[in-house]
Structure 1
Amino acid sequence: MPSDAIRTAATAAPRINLGYIVLVAVAAALGGLMFGFDVAIITGAGPFIEARFGLDALGLGVAFSALLFGCGLGAAASGLLVDRIGRKALMIAVAVAFGVTTVLTGLAPGFAAFVAARFLGGLAVGAVSLVAPMYVSEITPARLRGRMGALYQMAIVTGILVSYLINYALRDFGPDAWRYMFFTGAVPALLYLLLVMTVPESPRFLVQKGRDTEAAFILDRIGGADGASAVTEIRASLAQGKGSWLDLFHRDVRAPLAIGFVLAILIHLSGINTVIDYAPTIFKSAGFTLDAALFSTFIVGGANFVFTLLSFWIIDRVGRRGLYIWGSLGMAAALLGLVAAVLTGHFYGVTVLGLIVLYLLFFAACIGPVFWTLLPEIFPNGVRGRAMTVPVLTQWVANAVVVLLFPGVFHAVGQAATFGLLAAACLAQAVFALVFVPETRNRSLEEIAARWAGPRQ
């Protein structure tokens, strides 16, 4: 179990309240469950929606990407709200929005209403993609932050797996099966709401608002450091910025902001959401029937879940930078395997399924957990909320554009060229990580922020 690995890491700091940290981190990270559910539930609903509304390739792209464009706006708005109303209040609002919009999507009477409901749901997904990993990073001691951050990615892939299971279970419920698929999203939304109501506010937000006594109490309960001393260190780090948008142009923020921006583009150019969202389309092009394609998609979700478990053991051992490099190279190799399969006439059956599972191994164990752990780590305390807006908004826009264009590109340029382009993006991601991404393992957020103020290491 991941908790065994966490407990081993915590033995060097006996004052860490491991049980409390895990409880709080799990509650917050479950925002990723709704993230994964909302992004992936349309995978199985897609063929039904395509038939129900008579969609062409562009219309299908709009149906799939509407949520993602909403995510971009939600991420932008949450960057401001997270520093005004706090991390906890924003997570509660997001949970309510999740439940309402998933029901509205299932009730949509026409395509325009469907797109509008998906867009509104995207506001909640975009907000949670910023606030949940940020909160987990701020509430967790340095030596556990990688594993606790990986819980968010674990929740995402769990949501994806659950949505695939629901899709497969409801596939024979007639032409309106897609409505029931979306209705089921109300259940995890309610679970998330109940859990986030129990968590404390982020101590770094409390210090930012001058509530030092409350922050020290929470930090003492977390353990691993003296609460009063930690508050002093946090307050000193806040001097690097007061949360103004102008602070994003400060020399200590420009470097991490550029790194986050580029990683946010590359993670989607490397193809993960095309594989997650359009898995049935890919499998059908490889000769699968719709029923077999949906079942294979469930296998993909299960593999994604299992491989993410590996990150709990390696993210705080290997480190962020090494995982990003090797994960990117592994993804590129799997995609080049798909190119070879197309060119040699072997793009069918188990070959395609096996190469996609291999691709997911490297993404789920390396790239996914590191991306959502690294982003909140690299920004200084005083500007973290606003700074996080840039890479989170960027990754949602990149995600939306890739998902919108994929059906047309896949049919226009062919399978080999499409997978070749994705492989090239993976190789670019590996090179960028090698040259620019810093190692943040076992460093406090304040130590990481100090790195940007000093000479390059």
Structure 2
Amino acid sequence: MDMKIEKLEKIKLKPSAFLIQVIATICICFLACQTGFVCAWPSFTIENFKSNDTVLSTPMTTFEVSLLGSLGNIGAFAATPFCGYAFNNFGRKYATILFGLPYVLNWAIIYLTRSVLWILLAVTISGIGVAGQNASLIFISEISHDSIRGGMTALSASGYFLGLMVGYALGGYLTYYQVIYANMTMAVIAMVLLMVLPESPVFLVLVGKIEAATKSISFYNRLDPSSKEVETEIKRIQIQLDPRLEKVLEAELDPEALSRLLADKEEDKVKPHTESAWKILKQSKSSKRALAVVLVMMASSVLMGSPVMQVYAEPLFKEAVPSMSSNQCSIFLALDFLVSSFVCVMVIDKFGRKNLMIATSVGSGVCNLLLGTQLHFHWAGYWFTAFLIYAFNCVFTLGCGVIPFVLNAEVFLPEVRSLCSSIIMSSLWVILFFLLFIFNHLVELIGLGPVFYCFSSICFFSAIFSYVALPETKGLSADAIQALFLKKKI
């Protein structure tokens, strides 16, 4: 199927189009910075909130501190089903803007209150924005050329880690209320930047707005709206939406069926599905297989331990490396994440998703195993503990921390993309809440070192699973990816 569809020649990526797509991606990724600010904030406020000199009306208990680090995931979980509805009905652009509002509301509540309960409510509300920000990767994947789609989608991780680093830095050098002012201002700027972007052409074709889709394609690819290339791209998107697509793939390139699919007559124009996304998903073998693979990979990525280091960075460094400033260690950690994510952007479309996932899972497993033994037996100096923390997060971010999100945005048919993303992200928030909530209790029960042994075992499992079940998707269109999942036996 994918070889035949190549007869509809792909748009060649012009330097000007590359620049426009990068700028548009940066505008969308600035929303990811807001997620970084939200995730960094508990790290440098926990000590204040627990102390008798807290800015709050009463100090937080251990249970409330656990909720502070994890309730955002509950908010994200509750909002994720609505994300699919919003992105399918309001459009990729306006849904992304809409999910910028919870960030503004979060900081407004935190500024106005000294109540522990209201602080926890604000953190929960911020999770709604986090859910929408992750779903906005669909927007990026649909405006990016196939040859750079992986890197552009991975750039969202760079936005998040930039926000994490700036958030740690602000926490170390600004007052409590100055941090809130700065974060609220940047949340408003993120929403304004999104307003200047055209809507995703895939969504516009999905809702039948062909003229608007033509203008969108011409904008993102720097082409004349009346050009043959734009017309061909519209046709390619329509083919991906054609309900006969999977039947043709399963028929192993039946020439007659393929000929009908590619027919260019006006009366035979392909029409998108009229069924619900749930019904399409139940009927689509490729989408169900892709969903199973991405679910396992997303869960494995979370359970490797990196989210714990992000949310509890300062207290973790204080215990693991007491000889160093915990705030500076946290800033260096975020810088580590940021540089690694930029490297991932540059290499993901060169080495591919599968190879990078396997290699970084093994590397992360080795680092976690060494870190566990070091925390358990203290066989080297404190500097080595810090080195292993940085090494793990560097290797993790190069691949297994980013690739599941890239796959989530690219492997599904357009009609079920939002639904599958909602299912995957809902599972992610549940797992994140569980991990962050039990982490402190688990450390008290078995110790910090053995916890990292558990993280290490998940890393090695992820490497094996990626080798067995993950097909290579770099540079492929949605229809070609479906063919791979139909062939892959899980």
Q: Provide TM-score, normalisation by structure 2.
A: 0.85
**Residues 89-143 of structure 1: CA deviation (Å, up to 9, x unaligned):** 111112232112122123332111111111111111111111x211000001100
Aligned to 1:20: 20
Kept in 1: contact 2:471–2:485 (CA 8 A): no
Asked if 1 retains the 8 angstrom alpha-carbon contact of 2:469 and 2:489, the reply is no
% identity of equivalent residues: 20
Provide the residue aligned with 1:6 in structure 2.
Answer: none
- The offset of 1:455, in angstroms, is 6.7
Which structure has the larger Rg over C-alpha atoms? 2
Q: Structure 2 regions of 5+ residues with no counterpart?
A: 1-9, 244-272
The correspondence of residues 350-429 of structure 1 with structure 2, limited to 5 A, is: 350-429=383-462
Whole-angstrom distance in 1 between the partners of 2:488 and 2:430: 33
Matched, 1:72 2:77: yes
What residue in structure 2 maps to residue 256 of structure 1?
A: 290
Q: SS state of the match for residue 148, structure 2?
A: helix
Equivalent residues in 2 for 1:102-117 (5 A)? 102-117=107-122
> Following the alignment from structure 1 to structure 2, what is the Cα–Cα distance between the partners of residues 315 and 396?
25
Which amino acid counterpart does residue 88 of structure 1 have in structure 2?
K
Shift of 1:449: 3.0
Distance 1:97 1:26, change over 3 A: same
Deviation at 1:441, TM superposition (A): 0.5
Q: 2:34–2:187: 8 Å Cα contact kept in structure 1? A: yes
3-state SS, counterpart of residue 99 of structure 2: helix
What is the distance in 1 between the residues matched to 2:18 and 2:107?
A: 34
Which residue number in structure 2 is paired with residue 235 of structure 1?
Answer: 238
C-alpha spacing 1:216/1:456, structure 2 compared with 1 (3 Å): farther
How much has 1:11 moved relative to structure 2? Answer: 12
Pairwise mapping of residues 259-278 of structure 1 onto structure 2 (< 5 A)? 259-278=293-312
TM-score normalized by the length of structure 1: 0.91
What is the CA deviation profile of residues 189-208 of structure 1, one whole-angstrom value per residue up to 9, with x for unaligned ones?
12211110011101010001
* Higher mean C-alpha displacement, 212-221 vs 263-272: 212-221
**Cross-structure match for 1:163:** 167
Q: Taking structure 1 as reference, are residues 343 and 119 closer, same or farther at Cα in structure 2, changes over 3 Å only?
A: closer
Structure 1 residue ranges without an equivalent (≥5): 1-9
Name the amino acid aligned to 1:279: A
Partner SS state of residue 101, structure 2 = helix
Aligned to 1:47: 47
Which residue matches 1:217? 215
Q: CA deviation at 1:348?
A: 5.4
Matching residue within 348, 353, 359 for 1:320: 353
Query: Bigger shift: 229-238 or 382-391?
Result: 229-238
- Select between 82-91 and 279-288 the one with higher mean Cα deviation: 279-288
Amino acid at match of 2:411: I
State the one-letter code of the partner of 2:233.
A
Residue 78 to residue 359, structure 1, CA distance change in 2 (3 Å): same
Number of equivalent positions:
440
Check whether the contact 2:368–2:453 (CA below 8 A) recurs between aligned residues: yes
Aligned residue runs from structure 1 range 290-309, under 5 A: 292-309=325-342
The residue that corresponds to 2:256 in the other structure is none
Give the 3 Å change call, closer, same or farther, for CA 77–203 of structure 1 in structure 2. same
Distance change in 2, residues 1:358/1:157 (3 Å): same
Change (3 A) 1:243 1:452: farther
For 1:84, give the aligned amino acid.
Answer: N
State the Cα distance separating 1:454 from its structure 2 match: 5.6
Q: Is the 8 A contact 2:313 2:330 kept in 1?
A: yes
- Contact 1:257 1:387 (8 Å CA) reproduced: yes
Moved more, 31-40 or 155-164: 31-40
Contact 1:328 1:430 in 2 (8 A): yes
Q: Equivalents in 2 of 1:309, 1:136: separation in Å? A: 16
Residue in 1 aligned with 2:125? Answer: 120
1:286 deviation in Å? 2.3
- Does structure 2 retain, via aligned residues, the 8 Å contact 1:102–1:185? yes
